[in-house]
A and B are shown apart, each in its own frame.
Chain A
Amino acid sequence: GESVGLHLPTLSVQEGDNSIINCAYSNSASDYFIWYKQESGKGPQFIIDIRSNMDKRQGQRVTVLLNKTVKHLSLQIAATQPGDSAVYFCAEIYTGGFKTIFGAGTRLFVKA
């Protein structure tokens, strides 16, 4: 079946460094992508989204890059802080079918 996967299950970065979390998706029909952040004991929270007609979108300290050619999505976090420690999920959505598929998640550890 179709699935969204992540290249790295865990990522450890030094406080202040930039973090890059990667995601591969398999459904070429997916046209909307979201990154969620899940802190321990909480539900996922929306971070940033990107539509398939874009290849880059920036938020506050976060940037999402989309490469449709290789079906790859990444989340970049600038100047990573201890509060960024969490599990990050990418989600792909095929808007024509109202179907959201979540990846397994990447756990980000931020070392002080």
Chain B
Amino acid sequence: NAGVTQTPKFRILKIGQSMTLQCTQDMNHNYMYWYRQDPGMGLKLIYYSVGAGITDKGEVPNGYNVSRSTTEDFPLRLELAAPSQTSVYFCASTKDRGSNEKLFFGSGTQLSVL
């Protein structure tokens, strides 16, 4: 199994540009998450999904959008990139929530907005 796959690994955007960060998992996990990690900081939850067709906001959703049309895919959309969105983005998935919520992470997308 490939696990959680994220693309691209690196990207530089100009202010105001848009892009989609791709995330796919082949573990048939219902629950998927997008986190951002700023230097020296912990992971902040952007959006999450509990299943196909269902998404919800996390701690820091402003400036982002998501969709979940299939169980496997959970893309993250940046519409108008801002320097504050410079960060490393991680997609994660888990089979169970709550008492057995071990997250499987992708390798991350390093995004710079200049």
User: Taking CB as reference atom, which chain A residue is nearest B38?
Assistant: A104
Segment of A12-20, A41-49, A65-73, A75-83 in the binding face: A41-49
Question: Complex Cα distance A49/B100, Å?
Answer: 9
The number of chain A residues with a CB under 8 A from chain B is 25
Q: Is the CB–CB distance between A49 and B43 below 8 Å?
A: no
By a CB distance below 8 angstroms, the chain B residues around A32 are 98-99, 101
Question: Complex Cα distance A104/B39, Å?
Answer: 9
Q: How many A-B residue pairs have CB under 8 A?
A: 57
Rounded to whole Å, the gap between the CB of B108 and the closest CB of chain A is 5
A 21-47 binary contact with B (CB < 8 Å = 1; else 0): 000000000011010100001111110
User: Taking CB as reference atom, which chain B residue is nearest A96?
Assistant: B98
By a CB distance below 8 angstroms, the chain A residues around B99 are 31-32, 51, 95
List the 3 closest A-B pairs by CB distance, nearest first.
Answer: A43-B105, A95-B98, A102-B42
**Chain A contacts to B: CB under 8 angstroms:** 4, 9, 31-32, 34, 36, 41-46, 49, 51, 89, 93, 95-96, 98, 100-105
- The 11 sampled A-B contact pairs (Cβ below 8 Å) are A31-B99, A34-B103, A45-B105, A46-B102, A95-B97, A95-B101, A100-B101, A100-B103, A102-B42, A104-B42, A105-B41
